Chains A and B, each alone.
Chain A
């Protein structure tokens, strides 16, 4: 089920935040959406998730416009992983994951044994089944992010839409979360995620969409899309892309002034 955007334009009030964005993403891909603060990443996400109506253009799933879909149908196709948060009530982790079943249940129904099994499988697949009875408010930030990903899995959607899954995590947890996401894509899920770290895109993305001022600046494999020219334009600072170690293909982005002595 391809995720296609056709000339999507939108914003708030009279202000245009996303300007004529078109692309097609395929299942099995990990696509990273990069761009400076305020470039329109979040607004684009909102229009993909139908939380904001595009002023022009359309979002299609499997060739069908999602504009008229009922919420539960959309939730069976697109699962959203928000940034880790703290709800005011101390729900059990399993109860949080079970919320994913809402789209699959009749209005007056509540999750049954089969749903609990699906939730536990989702937790197990991310290696956090031992947290099932813990309180969501009392586990660590990395664990909470994994719980939210588990919830998206229990939603059994074809696409995962993740909003900065690695933000505010320590290095170990960043790698754990990104590795888990990569493995999910290998199993056939489509993944679209925002990140503020180009290095993550170099390491884990199959394609990168770089956004700048509401438009897609480049959309290609990380090595092609993230050049010094495009990165400098997107972030407005002077940057260098350097190869790391002897293995080719692993790249890092560093500020220009730091590497002049060694590499120039």
Chain B
């Protein structure tokens, strides 16, 4: 017998089957049959087990699953009414609480919760069959945690969509001045600086990169990052400080190895690429004798200035 991604011989597969039977008998199944339950676990194994996974890898994976939550979710997805009643009793109110926590605003929270509930119930159909989002739940984490994650994803997607819509509205409003989109700097920073920085960042451990990105890019607090990684806040504080020092030091060393002097390397690191871009624009504007020259606040230039630039002054 084989499952996708997992090659098992008959002796081992029978052991796996009896293990699955044991899991099936352990908790409530909310109307799922043994065969249906086995098919679900096989599907999950195919999704998460790497090719050539051993019997023990499969056992470890199946043992880590939230079997009861998985059975409830899949029974709901299959349309078992008693399972739905249990799901409603356990999670209906929690959906609104989660929405309130994520959206922070009552009407948005309710909309988010109702929208997710509809997707969970399966208002959409495919080939005549109801499609429920619960069918994608695999029991790797708790069902409540999964609901939180799904709702958070929906919230982030909506917020992104909303930002794009606002931008479009601003662009089409007559007479309203809107800011131009930010573009990449027209002039590149010294290529050696970029290369050295990329090298050092590539060598960072995944967790260190996550901490730096959360702190410096997202602006998260030390407490929030600590909560995500389940460590103390002081640990994150020390780590951020240590990483910042280490990254700076390593970039400087790399730049010196690439032929820069120490002074040049330090100057290069302290320059903000955005400042370079703005300086370039100012330089271009000062050099230009174009007709687009304007005085301050949009007023026409003074006659002497206009004459000097070759522009006819307005009267």
A and B associate in one complex: no
Q: Which residues of chain B have a CB within 8 Å of any CB of chain A?
A: none
